[in-house]
Amino acid sequence: MKEDTIDFGFRKVRVDEKQKLVAGVFDSVASRYDIMNDLMSLGIHRLWKRHAISLLQVRDHHDVLDLACGSGDLSLLIAPKLKSGQLTLSDINDNMLAVAKNRLIDRGVVGNVHLALANAESLPFQDNSFDRIIIGFGLRNVTHKDKALASILRVLKPGGRALILEFSHPTSSLLSTWYDAYSFKMLPFLGKIIANDSESYRYLAESIRMHPCQESLKAMMLAAGFDSCHYFNLTGGIVAIHQGIKY
């Protein structure tokens, strides 16, 4: 039977509505996205991202795709590592892509950088285009995660590495209880005070809970065709880094 509804946080919505609803969330928060990330994670997101980039193992000749690039944090860490390679920033949301573009220009990152407005489920790149692909805190917002994983695998070069940095499931019940209280009380409150939008941040908290657990996402990567799949828990499983190779 064909799927006609899908999760949007804790709500069920029509499949064809989710992309528009997610776009509305990020249109709303784009201008305050970086401030909110620092407040929500107490700045720890910067450490998570640096650790992810170290695991990505970028070399100076690589072609790298920063998928669901958001405001460009990961690209700012990747760009200094590339000399002859190319860096492509891609996001489905044009407001977020504009924020990322302006941040890179402000930091003097120009030249070997490209921008692409694109849906992760159907990436507009040729097969075997990238040596490295990273998607940071974006996969949980994708309507069909299996299609996105297949699309990522298609555009990854043989021998290439894909890495998913995403909120996940705490590994202890005590941490999980604290995290739930923080997420569902503090995040909407901060969203209201800083971005004048509590509902978008309530959705973001809900989307984290609905995202596949560590083992489930690993299984999805294997089913998509990735090899050597494994994951690393950070901050007690609040965040996980999943990695896969294309052979």
Q: Measured between alpha carbons, how far is 113 from 101 in angstroms, rounded to an integer?
A: 9
Is 63 flagged in the annotation as binding? no
The reply, when asked if residue 240 is annotated as ligand binding, is: no
The answer to whether 120 is a known ligand-binding residue is yes
**CA 85, 155, 100, 230 torsion-angle sign:** negative
Tell me if 119 is assigned to a ligand binding site.
yes
DSSP labels, 26-76: HHHHGGGHHHHHHHHHTTTHHHHHHHHHHHHT--TT--EEEET-TTSHHHH
Q: In which residue are the tokens 């800083």 written? A: 194
CA-CA distances (angstroms) from residue 47 to 22, 41, 77, 125?
26, 10, 11, 30
Binding-site residues, in ranges, read 71, 91, 119-120
Binding residues for S-adenosyl-L-methionine: 71, 91, 119-120
